[in-house]
Copies of this chain bind each other. A is one copy, B any other.
Amino acid sequence: MTRPLRPAPRSPRKPRPAVAAHKAPAKAAGTRSGKAAASKPYHHGDLRRVLVEAAFDLVAERGPETVSVREAARRAGVSPGAPFRHFESRDALMAAVAAEAQRRFRQEIATALAAVPADQPLRRFRALGLAYLRWAMRNPGHFEVISDGRLFDFDAAQGEASGLKADNAEIIDMSAQWLADASAKGLLRSADVKLMQIAGRALVYGYARMKADGHFPRWGVGEAEIEPMAEAVLDLFLAGIAKGDGPIKGRAPRA
């Protein structure tokens, strides 16, 4: 499942995919001369969104490194210079992709957490870690994108509200809160919450990157074992920081 090493052999010459999708720029009714004419209007209507979607798909298909502004423009059916009306650089485009990926990631985590009672911090912590791992296992390209610190910094430097920074901070804060709660409830062996937070993060991040970076074959872990082992690794960690021997995933964390 490894991707090509360099920016990509490009694609084998495409003739131009016409105009691509169009969101229905509304105003089909002629309030204001709307009409997205049948044959390629000069103005695209929602190019910014379409470019992000194209780049987003390219990330999933061939990995972040292979994404080029020109290819995204090709897929959107516009000239190579057009994207620069909406993104000051390739990295601005990629940062938008990262924001979208982070948004979906956050959504998936929220869904996973909905099933876990709020008063069981370690179970919530575990559910967070599991959702993190599962999403990263299944979206390695997008995981790479949201892990790129340079894109994050680029995005954060723009005053704009892309949500990337906020969505990321929310996840960090959640993990800190639950560990603190667990600690307050006397569920943890150590009192150094910050340390456990960083260690937990490093663990899931490392596991996810090992997958994305293609390290598991070297470690004798077959493709089918990766996800189950992710869960086992997470539970090993929880067993290491939790007081007592009971499994965290069980019903009652206190006895």
Contact = CB atoms under 8 A, between A and B. Distances in A.
A147 B144 CA distance: 14
A46 interface: no
Interface stretch (A25-33, A36-44, A74-82, A228-236): A228-236
A205 B213 CA distance: 11
A203 B241 CA distance: 14
B202 A233 contact: yes
A9 to B, nearest CB: 12
Given A150-B5, A209-B209, A215-B149, A198 B237 contact: no
A204 interface: yes
Q: Is the interface of A mostly helix, strand, loop or mixed?
A: helix
A90 interface: yes
A209 to B, nearest CB: 5
A5 B172 contact: no
Interface string A173-209: 0000000000000000110101111110111111111
A201 B209 CA distance: 11
A91 interface: yes
Given A2-B149, A198-B221, A240-B241, 8 more contacts: A6-B89, A149-B214, A189-B239, A195-B233, A199-B236, A199-B237, A202-B210, A236-B240
Top 4 A-B pairs ranked by shortest CB distance?
Answer: A240-B240, A206-B206, A149-B214, A202-B206
